Amino acid sequence: MACNERGMALVSVMLILTVLLTLAHVLTEKVWQSTRQAADAANREQLFWAAQAGIEAARQQLSASYASSAGWQNFLMSAVSRAYPTTPAWVSEVNGQTVEIYLRDNPDGDGDVRSDNDLKIFVLARAHGRRGAEVVMESLCGFDSSTAGRQGQADLSTNAAGTGLSELPVSTYHIAD
């Protein structure tokens, strides 16, 4: 009888070790998964702020280049109605994150997506991160028409005070569509 009990003790110890190792493996996987989720959340937040910075940089670029781009017409040459072009207007780097900027005309009633007539344009920022993470942010940007002093379809390159539009800041508008 003593011989049979010795074998049973070995089997019992092996079963207990197997259960403990399985629990340790499960706990390790949970910790790794939690760590990855926290890193992914931090990456998404970083991408969000990079896309926001891309929108702000686009506002400055649009303000500075209004006159030299023929009223943003150079940016809208390849635009398609209600869709963004396949190639970005420009690509910038924000804290190591690649941010692509796409531009398209807003539905301003003229039926021509290649020219702007209301001093507003849609800006889309797409920030790419690690492991395929991506944040896409869209904003309606443009000159405030009351500040610009537009009079019908008059010369949009200057406002009522004779100041060039490129000297005015580009505003951001709430997107309603």
Q: Cβ distance 51 to 141 under 8 Å? A: no
Q: What is the mean pLDDT of the chain?
A: 79
Residue 30 falls inside a structural domain: no
Examine residue 14 and state whether it is found in any structural domain, yes or no: no
pLDDT at 49 over 80: yes
Give the DSSP letter string of 90-107. EEEEETTEEEEEEEEE--
Range of weakest confidence among 34-48, 60-74, 160-174: 160-174
34 falls within a domain: no
Among 16-30, 102-116, 139-153, 160-174, top mean pLDDT goes to: 16-30
pLDDT number for residue 4: 58
112/115 Cα distance (integer angstroms) = 6
Residue 94 has pLDDT above 70, yes or no: yes
Q: Give the C-alpha separation, 139 to 106, whole Å.
A: 11
**Is 113 within a domain?**
yes
Number of domains into which the chain is organized: 1
**Is 8 among the domain residues?**
no
Across the beta sheet with 171-173, what order do the strands follow? 90-94, 97-105, 120-128, 134-142, 171-173
Q: With bands split at pLDDT 50, 70 and 90, how would you rate the model's confidence at 76?
A: confident
Amino acid residing at 129: G
| Domain limits for position 50 | 41-173
A 10 A CB-CB count for 101 gives 22
Its pTM stands at: 0.69
Domain assignment present for residue 28? The answer is no
- Mean pLDDT, residues 53-64: 89
Biggest CA pair distance of the chain: 109
Q: Residue 120, Cβ neighbours under 10 Å: how many?
A: 20
The answer to whether 104 touches 88, Cβ cutoff 8 Å, is no
Please report the pLDDT score of residue 9 as a whole number: 84
- Nearest one of 50, 58, 65 to 84, comparing CA atoms: 58
